Chains A and B, each alone.
Chain A
């Protein structure tokens, strides 16, 4: 089954404790991206990647890191989480190319930073 797998679904942590949210897709998609969803703000893009070793900043990259060492994986790293990073996070992937490709989303990770 074609899917984007995110883990964990729920995470509670404390300020300053490094964490990684994993994202993996099995569709051989070139494009992958991370979003955060906050009430009243919609989804905002954090980082995206066009292919292995190619990443770029979205609208809200501060406090986050990503890496794309393999095509299928695109982890989101919070080196020193802060309470303002409490949010619902989504990973998404799609084929690349000039057309309006559909984004496939993961199930989301609800992160709480205390």
Chain B
């Protein structure tokens, strides 16, 4: 069975600095998708970034980028130039290409300090 691990329950970053959130996963599949979702205090779930496992190039979305290491089964999220609005819970998620079963990590709460 697939698992997703987020080993950092909480992280803090100074405004305008860079922070990296860790995510590791375990799977025997070769084709899958990985996601980072953000959950601000409003509790709305928002897609931050996604990565197809067959693509070697790391995904980027403005200030958000990932470091995807397929062999190491690692999928970290880097937030550059952190802003107060980035404060939220961040969830890493895995989805097999063959099914629509999603596996989420336990989340990392990010605090942004002014």
Seen from chain A, the residues whose Cβ lies within 8 Å of a Cβ on chain B are 31, 33, 35, 40-45, 48, 50, 56, 58-59, 88, 90, 92, 96, 98-100, 102-103, 105, 107-108
Mostly, the B contact residues are: strand
| Residues of chain A with a CB closer than 8 A to B9's CB | 40
- Is B106 located at the chain interface by the 8 A CB criterion? yes
> Would A41 and B95 count as touching, CB distance under 8 A?
no
Q: Are B44 and A105 in contact (CB under 8 A)?
A: yes
Q: What's the least CB distance linking A99 to chain B, in Å?
A: 8
Asked if A45 contacts B91 (CB within 8 A), the reply is no
Nearest CB in chain B: distance from A37 CB, A: 8
Tell whether B35 is near chain A: CB-to-CB under 8 Å: yes
A45 to chain B: closest residue by CB = B102
The reply to whether the CB of B64 lies closer than 8 angstroms to some CB of chain A is no
A-B contact pairs, 8 of them (CB 8 A): A31-B100, A33-B100, A35-B102, A40-B106, A43-B104, A45-B102, A45-B103, A88-B43
B97 beta carbon closer than 8 Å to chain A: yes
* A50 to B100 alpha-carbon distance, docked (Å): 8
Let me know if A42 and B50 touch, CB within 8 A: no
CB of A42 within 8 A of CB of B102, answer no
Interface, chain B (partner A; CB < 8 A): 4, 6, 9, 33, 35, 37, 43-45, 47, 50-52, 91, 93, 95, 97, 100-107
Q: Inside 8 A of B101's CB, which chain A residues have their CB? A: 45, 48, 56, 58-59
Chain A residues closer than 8 Å to B51, beta-carbon distance: 100
What residue in chain B is nearest A107 (Cβ atoms)?
B44
Q: Check if A48 sits within 8 Å of B44, measured CB to CB.
A: no
Residues on the B chain within 8 Å of A41, using CB: 106
Q: From B9, B37, B43, B93, name the one whose CB has the most chain A CB atoms within 10 angstroms.
A: B43
Residue contact B100 to A42, C-beta cutoff 8 Å: no
Closest approach, in angstroms, between the C-beta of A36 and any C-beta of chain B? 11
A33 and B106 contact, CB distance less than 8 A: no
Contacting pair B47 A103 (CB below 8 A) = yes
User: Given that A50-B100, A58-B101, A107-B44 are known contacts, is A42 also in contact with B106, CB under 8 Å in the complex?
Assistant: yes
Contact call A33/B105, Cβ cutoff below 8 A: no
Complex-state Cα separation, A45 to B102, whole angstroms: 7
